Amino acid sequence: MNHAGGGRWQAYSAGSHPTVAPNPFALETLTANDISIDFSPRSKSWNEFASAGAPYMDVVVTVCDNAASETCPIWPTQNGQAPEKLHWSFPDPAALPGTDEEKRAAFGDVFASIRKKIDSYLTESAA
């Protein structure tokens, strides 16, 4: 979103059960698609963004199939307005078995699907 949004959006990434570090295949996929990761990415809990002092979220998007059934934290409001909540269903490529090449392909496929959804959302939100 940060890359595709051309500076109009500030996106953050977090999960319900973060790992010790970002998945190396995820970082490799971003680099392969000319997405800069020079910001020292780290795994974060979504609770970090639901606590006092966290940046206000206009939109909260869950993306993995397993996240849709989880209970999300209560997102802070701004001027009484809660963020828009969206769920974009994608398989979690980190959960898929296979060889390194199969995993790379899975991450690439999910990246392409997410990018298409982001592009569509940006087009719709600009209208």
Q: Is the pLDDT of residue 40 over 80?
A: no
Domain segments of the chain as ranges: 24-126
Structure tokens that stand for 124 in this block: 């719709």
Average pLDDT over residues 45-71: 78
Our CA dihedral for 44, 50, 52, 53, rounded to 10 degrees, sits at: 60
Query: How far is Cα 66 from Cα 90, in angstroms, rounded to an integer?
Result: 9
Tell me the mean pLDDT in the region 96-107.
95
Supply the CATH classification number for the domain 24-126.
3.40.50.2300
**Dihedral in degrees, nearest 10, Cα atoms 71, 73, 78, 83:** -40
Average pLDDT over residues 53-60: 86
pLDDT at 103 over 90: yes
Average pLDDT for residues 93-116, to the nearest whole number?
94
Top pLDDT among 120 and 71 is at 120
